[in-house]
Structure 1
Amino acid sequence: MTVSKLKALIAAAAVTGLLAGCGSSPAAEPAADAALPVAAGTGASAPAAGVPGVVVPASLKFTGRTLDGKTFDATTMAGKPTILWFWAPWCATCASEAMSISDLQDEYAGRLNILGIAGMGNNKDMHEFVSDLEVGAVPHLDDEPGKLWKKFGITEQSTYVILDKAGKVVVRSYLDDLQLTDKVKSLVA
């Protein structure tokens, strides 16, 4: 995907996708006690490896492959608010969100985890998306098979799953940039 194609996607998003999140209907935030679907065989929590006093919630008990094929262990994100950004490389709304993700990564580095989880595309296009939209400071997983999308109940791209520092899901929906920023500010004090 070329830069001009991505710019065209961003322009199209401004017209058609920003309000609806690439066709998604805004989902209500889960109830305070809403349980996150967890893969079979994982318990509620366990101590984080190498981090004294930090408990790994069930929501962060997963692994994946980065776009470069390296193993990523989500348990390393325990103890901090976390944004899981589910995106697709051809999604115009996802492209328009890239700058906000990059800005949040810069502003809250060390206090907030952000993990991109790419699906519905191939690895080459995922790499081009990350490179062209300059979101390489954020780790991204290649979830072309949809394993993590299924784990988190994601059915369409441009969805955020936001976890508080205890790993409780506080948002599972499309958010515009202002909503995303406000939610992050409320979680990172």
Structure 2
Amino acid sequence: MVGRGLSRLLVLVVLLVGGCDAGSGHIDAGASARASSPGGSPLDFTGTTLDGKAFDGHSLAGKPAVLWFWAPWCPVCLQQAPGVRAAAERFGDRVNFIGVAGLDKTQAMPEFVQLAKVGSITHLADEPGVVWKHFGITEQSTFVLVDASGRVTGHGPLAADAIPDKVAALLEGR
């Protein structure tokens, strides 16, 4: 019981000090420089899905993509899940949705997916933070919007109700 109480206290301190930003729906449209190494493409990354399959970022080419960087213990990430689900249901045939879980052990990630009811999209287990670093992610929850040509067009936090509109704008090229 003491361990659980300390864990909750630690989560609260982390949230208060600097993470788990709910966002206002503002995404930085000039963030492409943070999304890859010089001369590289934002799609130059690999990972492993939560079910242990290899994932290549180049598989996203030719279709816009929304990458959602979340942590299993993040209450804001959980609050954003309905917006992610709504956008994936509405646009999933035209947009790739990828959850990129980090900041915790891989074993904690499937429980979040089940609780958040976001199992319909692909999730990467990024425990070492390789994909997070590739995209310059410094806090959860952050969204990265990538157009069909593989160019990052937005980077930042989003409120749950803003997610479908941002995805619609991505499809419209704005």
Alpha-carbon distance in 2 for matches of 1:183, 1:160: 10
TM-score normalised by length of structure 1: 0.73
Which letter maps to 1:147? V
How many residue pairs match? The answer is: 156
1:100 to 59, 83, 87: 83
Alpha-carbon distance in 2 for matches of 1:82, 1:144: 21
Q: 1:1-189 alignment to 2 at 5 Å?
A: 22-23=20-21, 29-31=28-30, 34-39=32-37, 44=40, 58-189=41-172
Alpha-carbon distance in 2 for matches of 1:163, 1:28: 12
Shift of 1:38: 2.2
Alpha-carbon distance in 2 for matches of 1:90, 1:70: 23
Q: Which has the higher contact order (CA 8 A, sep 6+)?
A: 2
Alpha-carbon distance in 1 for matches of 2:21, 2:95: 28
- In the TM superposition, structure 1's runs of 4+ consecutive aligned residues that sit over 3 Å from their partners are 23-28
Q: Provide closer, same or farther for how the CA distance between residues 158 and 39 of structure 1 changes in structure 2, counting only shifts above 3 A.
A: same
Identity of aligned residues (%): 42
Point out the structure with the larger helix share. 2
Shift of 1:177: 2.3
Q: Helix, strand or coil for the counterpart of 2:33?
A: coil
Unaligned runs of 5+ in 1: 1-8, 10-16, 45-57
Whether the 8 Å contact between 1:24 and 1:156 is mirrored in structure 2 is no
Which letter maps to 1:98? A
Shift of 1:180: 2.1
Shift of 1:175: 1.0
Whether the 8 Å contact between 2:22 and 2:76 is mirrored in structure 1 is no
Alpha-carbon distance in 1 for matches of 2:167, 2:94: 10
Q: Helix, strand or coil for the counterpart of 1:184?
A: helix
Shift of 1:164: 1.5
TM-score normalised by length of structure 2: 0.79
Whether the 8 Å contact between 2:72 and 2:112 is mirrored in structure 1 is yes
Whether the 8 Å contact between 2:20 and 2:141 is mirrored in structure 1 is yes
Shift of 1:135: 0.6
**Could you say what the CA RMSD is over the residues aligned between the two structures, in angstroms?**
2.5
Whether the 8 Å contact between 1:117 and 1:142 is mirrored in structure 2 is yes
Which letter maps to 2:36? V
Whether the 8 Å contact between 2:100 and 2:126 is mirrored in structure 1 is yes
Partner deviation per Cα, 1:15-56 (whole Å, 9 max, x = no partner): xx8xx9724787761428x4244257xx55xxxxxxxxxxxx
